[in-house]
Homo-oligomer: A and B are copies of this chain.
């Protein structure tokens, strides 16, 4: 039946409504934990995988045939309500019927298996797919480069900023002979000293360029050579926000002054800042948020210094904050110069201004330049999200979650604090790292898959189909864990 629904494209839009119910009906009613986690079967698989690779980060082995909707089911039969969704990368939950149907279509299978070098031999429908899927969700930016993951999206977006910055410096001149030759041996002027300004606790990826702008945890960085690029403080707010307006506004001032000083300092060091990269909410680094005013002022500083502004929406993009892009909450006077994405978007990439589009080919290029198969998945995701008004669902579920988290916080203020975030992209701090880890463990024992970030934050990253009924299961478990810890 589902096949007929999804194949009949005329009816697709109206029928997605039913699909939501079908997911909902197929979902377990609640979590159920039947073994330790990892259970015996997961442990068996772990010891097998350990022969091949480092497995210290593996929490469990999942049964992706059985997992459904908001429920991750593991190989030991544990049924977990998933508020973490593969590090925030699963927008429609598991085994959504519309996604299952995406590849029950011969045309789409052919797109999947005939993966082109998109920069040289794109398929006939590539321009149309970019227009009808990605351009439709563009944050007001005309140009678009597709990639495969968050790190390579940021790395390549940095390259666009470097090119545009040097192009402006160079004016109408061609590359000099000296530039052409020196670039090949990694030295100026062809490989110039230029920098990207980033923020403390930021996370922008783990390849060596992106990693030079990542400062979330030492374990991500130790032993790797790094570019000498400037790092400014990211605001650290006091909560609740409405009780600390003056302090937090001063914090914005302090951090923005640092940005201006660093731009000045690195210019003098002959290592000018070509671009600033920032997350709208710092995710891996602890779900740190900054005010719309902070971002508005940051954009002004960038403009007045002729420095490009890249907003990294790899974790925030695709709807979890209740708007498609988190920075849409900030009322910026114009779009940022670049917006990068990945995770929920399935493929990586970035939207950018015309100015950031290289004038010559092969400057930003690689074999695949993205993946049409992933774009087909994104097409389904966006269609379902539109048809079912999932952003509205995110806002409603998020409001419900946040309101209740604040209540729980006030009840257990000696254990937890600083409820924050937008949509269902929410976090709350535990007093200590140890307590945080303990809460995550206890939640898992009650069938809640959640995640931590920063030193002591619990972060929520549910799918866009996470409803208030799911939120209530989480809230109930969370409260019970705290009651237990309180005894």
Contact = CB atoms under 8 A, between A and B. Distances in A.
Interface stretch (A150-158, A321-329, A384-392, A393-401): A150-158
Interface in A338-383: 342-343, 346, 357-368, 373, 377
Interface stretch (A24-32, A55-63, A304-312): A55-63
Nearest to A346: B115
A198 B144 CA distance: 32
A180 interface: yes
Interface size range of chain A in the complex: 35 or more
A209 B209 CA distance: 6
Main secondary structure of the interface of A (DSSP, over half): loop
B193 A225 contact: yes
B186 A367 contact: no
Nearest to A193: B225
- Output the residue of A131, A207, A223 with the most chain B CB within 10 A: A223
B114 A206 contact: no
A246 interface: no
Contacts of A226: 186-187, 191
A112 to B, nearest CB: 6
A159 to B, nearest CB: 6
A121 B222 contact: no
Interface in A435-459: none
- Output the residue of A48, A114, A135, A217 with the most chain B CB within 10 A: A114
Nearest to A51: B142
Interface in A219-245: 219-229, 231
B224 A159 contact: yes
A82 to B, nearest CB: 9
- How many copies of this chain does one complex carry? 2
A208 B207 contact: yes
Contact of A111 (B64, B109, B113, B205): B64
Contacts of A263: none
Interface of A: 41, 45, 48-49, 51-65, 67, 72, 75, 86-87, 89-90, 94-96, 99-100, 102-104, 106-107, 109-117, 119-124, 126-128, 130-131, 135, 142-145, 148-152, 155-156, 158-159, 162-163, 165-167, 175, 179-181, 183-187, 190-195, 200, 205-210, 212, 215, 217-229, 231, 342-343, 346, 357-368, 373, 377
Given A184-B215, A186-B226, A194-B225, 12 more contacts: A52-B135, A54-B357, A54-B363, A57-B120, A62-B124, A95-B113, A163-B222, A190-B218, A192-B225, A206-B365, A208-B208, A219-B362
A-B pairs with lowest CB-CB distance, top 10: A56-B361, A208-B209, A186-B226, A191-B226, A64-B114, A166-B223, A57-B361, A183-B221, A155-B207, A86-B117
23 contacts: A49-B126, A54-B357, A54-B360, A56-B362, A58-B121, A61-B123, A62-B123, A64-B114, A64-B123, A65-B107, A75-B124, A87-B120, A95-B113, A104-B109, A148-B148, A159-B206, A163-B222, A175-B222, A183-B221, A187-B228, A190-B218, A191-B222, A225-B227
